[in-house]
Structure 1
Amino acid sequence: MHVQAVLFDGFDPLDVLGPLEILYAGGIATNGGITVELVSAEGARDVPSGLDLVTLRATARLDPERDGLILVPGAAGATEQGDPEDDSIPSRIARTQRTALPALLSAAMERPGSTVTTVCGGSLLLAMSGLLKGRYVTGHHDALDVLWGLGATVVRARVVDDGDLVSGAGVTSGLDLGLHLLEREFGPRVAHVVEELFAHERRGVVWRPTGAEPAHI
């Protein structure tokens, strides 16, 4: 399984590195069953994060035709937007819409063999691109109303698995997301050994649109 972790100007480093390190460790635990790389819509380049001290290097352009996982992070910065061109999270996510990223993600989501995953504001990036209409999704709690307004079906869960779309809530949910993806792909023993390595116990139920319809309680 190959993982393409997407970088864009202003991305949140923990949204990327949390799940990516989990999946990288999963690659070791599976003797190379997982490979990971950092990509951008523009190709190989140094990509500044939303934290001034952190820049990561994308080594390739996002390839929507490649099977595997695509990891979409949110942005880092102030939560309140004062101006469309400021360095707030809403502004940084909105500026991705001027790049090739939405078209690349749309192409990936239209083909079998690709699973798109998001952490925190990554689901908002997809929703602003018109890619979450009618899909079950979660995201950062501050963005849930916006996700509803953009046509997504919001579930207040830490991880939501809607088949070829798997989303995590706030930033630290990326660890839970990574462990769930390991279990989904390789089974509980691989996920457990990585969980022990990181001394992190997953929280809550991974929500899926399956099973009995619960009565109101």
Structure 2
Amino acid sequence: MLNVQIVLFDGFDLLDAIAPYEVFCAASMYAENKLAVELVTAEGARSVPSGTNGLVIQASGRLNPDRAGILLVPGASGDVKDAEGPASIPAILSRAMKTEITGLIGKALERGEITVATVCGGSLLLAMGGLLDGRPAVTNQMGMEFLGATGAVPIHARIVDDGNLVSGGGVTSGLDVALYLVERELGPRIAHAVEQLFEFERRGTVWKDKGLAPEGRTLGDDDEPSHSPAARIPFENPVAAASMFEGIWDATLATPVGKLQVRLMISTSDGMVFGKATQGDETLDFLNPVLKEGTLTWSLRITKPMRLNLKFEVVADGNQMTGTAKAGMLPASKLTGKRLSPSGGIS
């Protein structure tokens, strides 16, 4: 028996979840009940409001990360006009990430007999929780840059098969992902029968990291390369940099998911700039810090409250710092800071 769990959360996208549900139910009919599909949540059986006009769907059980089979995670449906509001897709995914979903799915990914599948923004939910670091995946085209900012490797394909992780890009890809999984697990004849029933043929080539690579291309080379781990970069005017930015700063980031307090420690030595950022119990080195025309930029790989590669751009005026931090498609977060000490104390 192939067990399929479709994982719902508040604000999930209806088509992401229900299209695969129908495919798996049809496959069960043709496969003489050798497949069982269930709607589940991290909390257990409950009514789950979707992100489409709040339409409620009843989940019948709790996500079980130890049950062999398939776990399918849909994306979110929300306000695409206001990317900073509480009804936006990033905000819905962030709230879902703070439940037990990512922890339970993380356990499932550790088990060889479980395939985790995502549809559209479902891969972003996992990536924000740090589960896709270094793994090829796809999401809705509007979220590909953001997917890369989480540390995943964005692949521009309809379906990406990375072994125990299968992802689909776009809200209608739920049909394609489910049909592909039916073919992979139960065979092409069952998948073909479902296609005939639905009068729908699966779209696109399934991308796998196998076979000959196209000449001159490498994995994920359509997207921005990852940052080097350099902690210091030469800058134009070390004297000006020391007076403008050197010191310990208390900074606040106003993000779509709430305000974050960050302690920045910046110093200079021998024409080089050094930086560290502390948020909670996590301290990270600046990546690729560069000073140009009075603006200091750097990147930071944070893991809390979600895993993201943030790009900072700040200016200093006396003991006041202002700027932005941005990750992929997310709107830029405003940064404000106050210098506490004239010395960063970093070497």
Contact 2:13 / 2:74 at 8 angstroms: preserved in 1?
Answer: yes
Structure (1 or 2) with the greater strand fraction: 2
Contact 1:79 / 1:90 at 8 angstroms: preserved in 2?
Answer: no
The answer to whether residue 67 in structure 2 is matched with residue 70 in structure 1 is no
Amino acid at match of 1:74: G
- Corresponding residue for residue 93 of structure 1: 93
- Corresponding residue for residue 27 of structure 2: 26
- Corresponding residue for residue 194 of structure 1: 194
Quote the offset at 1:110 in angstroms.
1.1
Gaps of 5+ in 1: none
Q: Structure 1-normalised TM-score?
A: 0.96
1: distance between equivalents of 2:6 and 2:76?
A: 14
Seen in structure 2, the aligned counterparts of structure 1 residues 105 and 48 have a Cα distance that, compared at 3 Å, is: same
- Corresponding residue for residue 159 of structure 1: 159
Contact 1:39 / 1:61 at 8 angstroms: preserved in 2?
Answer: yes
Percent identity, please: 50
Contact 1:81 / 1:90 at 8 angstroms: preserved in 2?
Answer: no
Which protein, 1 or 2, shows the higher relative CO under an 8 Å CA cutoff with sep ≥ 6?
1
Structure (1 or 2) with the greater helix fraction: 1
SS in 2 for 1:31: coil
2: distance between equivalents of 1:143 and 1:83?
A: 15
Amino acid at match of 2:12: F
Gaps of 5+ in 2: 218-347
Q: Which whole-Å deviations, capped at 9, do the CAs of 1:184-214 have from their partners, x for residues lacking one?
A: 1111111111001001111110111111111
SS in 1 for 2:160: strand
- Corresponding residue for residue 17 of structure 1: 18
Contact 1:8 / 1:40 at 8 angstroms: preserved in 2?
Answer: yes
- Corresponding residue for residue 178 of structure 2: 178
RMSD of aligned residue pairs (Cα, Å):
1.2
The answer to whether residue 22 in structure 2 is matched with residue 4 in structure 1 is no
Seen in structure 2, the aligned counterparts of structure 1 residues 53 and 147 have a Cα distance that, compared at 3 Å, is: closer
Contact 2:47 / 2:59 at 8 angstroms: preserved in 1?
Answer: yes
Alignment coverage as a number of residue pairs:
216
SS in 1 for 2:131: coil
Quote the offset at 1:52 in angstroms.
2.1
2: distance between equivalents of 1:116 and 1:152?
A: 15
SS in 1 for 2:111: coil
* Map 1:125-140 → 2, pairs under 5 A: 125-140=125-140
SS in 1 for 2:174: helix
1: distance between equivalents of 2:31 and 2:162?
A: 25
Contact 1:81 / 1:89 at 8 angstroms: preserved in 2?
Answer: no
Quote the offset at 1:42 in angstroms.
0.6
2: distance between equivalents of 1:171 and 1:136?
A: 19
Q: Which whole-Å deviations, capped at 9, do the CAs of 1:143-167 have from their partners, x for residues lacking one?
A: 1111111111111000111110000
Quote the offset at 1:79 in angstroms.
2.0
